[in-house]
Amino acid sequence: MGGTRAPADDGGLASGIRWDLSDLYAGPDDPQIDADLDRALVDARAFEGRYRERVAALDAGELARAVSEYETLLEPVSRTAAYSDLLFAADTSAERNGALLQHVQERTTEIRTGLLFFELEWVALDADAVDALLGDPALARRRHYLSAMRRYRPHVLSEPEERILEETANTGPRAFGRFFDEFVSAIRFRVARDGETIELGEEEVLAQLYDPVRATRREAARALTDGLKTHARPLAFIFNTLVQHKAVEDRLRAFEAPMAARHLANEIDEPSVESLLSACVARYPLVARYYRLKARLLGLARLEDYDRYAPISAEPTQIPFDRARRIVLDAYGDFAPEMADVARQFFEASWIDAELRPGKRGGAFCASTVPSAHPYILLSYTGHLRDVMTIAHELGHGIHQTLARDQGLFEQNTPLTTAETASVFGEMLVFRRLMRDEPDPQVRLGLLCGKIEDAFATVFRQVAMTRFEQSLHEARRNQGELSIERTNQLWMDANRPMFGDSVQLSSDYAWWWLYIPHFVHSPFYCYAYAFGELLVLALLRCYDEQGDEWVPRYLDLLRAGGTEPPPVLLARLDLDITDPGFWDGGLALLADMVGEAEALAG
163: which residues sit within 8 A by CB, 6+ positions away? 113, 116
Chain centroid, CA 34 distance in Å: 29
Q: Using the 8-state DSSP alphabet, how is residue 564 labeled?
A: S
CA dist 510 and 596 (Å) reads 33
Provide the minimum distance between the beta carbon of 395 and Zn ion in the complex, in angstroms, as a whole number. Answer: 11
Beta bridge partners, 220, equal none
Cα separation, 53 vs 70, whole angstroms: 16
**Identity of the residue, 51 or 425, whose beta carbon is nearer to Zn ion in the bound complex:** 425
277 or 366: CB nearest Zn ion:
366
Nearer to Zn ion, 104 or 395 (CB): 395
Residue (of 456, 435, 595, 462) closest to 537 by Cα position: 456
CA dihedral 417, 461, 465, 519 (to 10 degrees): -70
CB 120 within 8 A of CB 162: yes
Number of residues counted as binding Zn ion (CB under 5 A): 1
In angstroms, what is the minimal distance from the CB of 423 to Zn ion?
4
Does 78 bind Zn ion (CB under 5 A)? Our answer is no
Which among 251, 246, 248, 276 is positioned nearest to 262, based on CA atoms? 246
Nearest to 428, CA basis, from 203, 589, 600: 589
Which residue, 179, 236, 201, is CA-closest to 511? Answer: 236
User: Would you say 76 or 450 has its CB closer to Zn ion?
Assistant: 450
Rounded to a whole number of angstroms, the minimum distance from the CB of residue 346 to Zn ion is: 15
Q: Which CB sits closer to Zn ion, 113 or 423? A: 423
Q: Which of residues 174-193 bind Zn ion (CB under 5 A)?
A: none
Shortest Cβ 397–Zn ion spacing (Å) = 6
Nearest residue (CB) to Zn ion, 369 versus 423? 423
Smallest separation, CB 415 to Zn ion (Å)? 13
- Nearest-approach distance from CB 528 to Zn ion, in angstroms: 9
Smallest gap from Cβ 369 to Zn ion, in A, equals: 16
Q: Least distance from C-beta 393 to Zn ion, angstroms? A: 6
Q: How far is the CB of 417 from Zn ion (least distance, A)?
A: 12
Cβ proximity to Zn ion: between 418 and 502 the closer is 418
- Tell me the one-letter amino acid at 101: L
By beta-carbon proximity to Zn ion, the closer residue of 227 and 426 is: 426
417-476 binders of Zn ion (CB under 5 A): 423
Distance in angstroms (rounded) separating the CA atoms of residues 330 and 316: 22
24/391 with CB nearer Zn ion = 391
Name the residue nearer to Zn ion (CB basis): 78 or 421. Answer: 421
CA distance 534 to 555: 19
Cβ-proximal residue to Zn ion, closest one = 423
CA atoms within 13 A on the CB side of 85: 19
In this complex, which beta carbon is closest to Zn ion, that of residue 388 or of residue 484? 388
Contact 575, 538 (CB under 8 A): yes
Touching Zn ion, residues 496-515 (CB under 5 A): none
According to DSSP, the β-strands at 352-353 and 376-378 are parallel
Phi, psi of 430 (to 5 degrees): -65, -45
Of residues 366-425, those binding Zn ion (CB under 5 A)? 423
Phi and psi angles of residue 5, each rounded to the nearest 5 degrees, phi first? -135, 150
Query: Minimum distance from CB of 420 to Zn ion (Å)?
Result: 5
Question: DSSP character for 315?
Answer: -
Minimal distance, residue 426 CB to Zn ion, in Å: 10
Subset of 87-146 contacting Zn ion (CB under 5 A): none
Element (H, E) at 503: strand 503-504
Nearest to residue 116, comparing CAs of 59, 165, 76? 165
Local structure of 191: helix, strand or coil: strand
Question: Which parts of this chain interact with Zn ion (CB under 5 A)?
Answer: 423
